Amino acid sequence: MNTKAIALGVATALSVAACATTTSPTGRTQYVGAVSQAQLDQLGLQAFAQAKASTPLSRDAAKNAYVGCVVRAVTAQLPAPWSGVRWEYALFDNNEANAWALPGGKIGVYTGIFKVATNQDQLAAVIAHEIGHVMARHHDERITRQVYAQTGLGVAGALAGSRYGEAAQQTTGQLGGALLQGTFLLPNSRVQESEADVVGQELMAKAGFDPEGAVSLWRNMAAAGGGRPPQWLSTHPDPASRLRELQARAAGLTAVMQAARNKGQTPHCR
């Protein structure tokens, strides 16, 4: 197939992703608006209900209370409109070191997270990071980009097919999809992860948690992670770069933590 046709198809797909824009908490331009906030909240509610129906919940009362303590301390510092959300959490009996937060105020924590989050500051770093994705409208952004990318590939395939035939249309879809994934969708995911680090680390400090906990958490994560795909195909930042950035920010956020503690915001979650 003519490589110009592939380039045309990818360029068309990218150009279709011109939609509503907003500014993220770190100042970058975001493409959003494929779904409404009400729809996002409903999707979050449905996903949360499905997770609780398909994954066993932990019956460990102490661990549930511990997670709840951290969640309440972090969410108490949220600005509007997230301060008006009724945040709900669930602790799942799952050995994976993972957690997530969804639009609509839903938080899921897996018991496996305790393997890498060994104290309240590290657990707060996990939970604040995941809430950071919600605050930064990353779910809206990802849905919007995927919707418009798929729409663009459909248009590009039709254009290539009309000029070069059915085989060209199929190849545009296959190669265009791979190129979009490698240069459009996944890199944005890395940006989102870094942004959630920024938002989450500040949020945990405002709640009185030690921002150094984010550094030690991701150091533990990197040690437990094992093999990784090449950075350009990863949805997470390079671990070494991530640690350097977290460490640099932690120094500046110590004063934020201390100010919170001076106001009586000193979490004691165990």
List all residues 6 or more positions away from 134 whose beta carbon is below 8 Å from its beta carbon.
Answer: 82, 101, 102, 103
- Look at residues 171, 166, 188, 191 and name the one whose alpha carbon lies nearest to residue 14: 188
Q: Output the pLDDT for position 62.
A: 98
List all residues 6 or more positions away from 79 whose beta carbon is below 8 Å from its beta carbon.
Answer: none
Report how far residue 67's alpha carbon sits from residue 205's, in angstroms, rounded to the nearest whole number. 17
Q: Output the pLDDT for position 79.
A: 94
Q: Output the pLDDT for position 235.
A: 55
Q: Output the pLDDT for position 234.
A: 52
Q: Output the pLDDT for position 19.
A: 62
- Antiparallel, parallel or unpaired: β 29-32 and 20-23: antiparallel
Q: Output the pLDDT for position 76.
A: 97
Q: Output the pLDDT for position 151.
A: 56
Q: What residues are annotated to the active site? A: 130
pLDDT tens, position by position, 74-125: 999 999 999 999 999 999 999 999 999 999 999 999 999 999 999 999 999 9
Q: Output the pLDDT for position 171.
A: 41
Q: Output the pLDDT for position 14.
A: 42
Query: Which residues of the chain are modeled with pLDDT < 50?
Result: 1-18, 152-176, 178-187, 229-233
Q: Which residue has tokens 């199929």?
A: 170
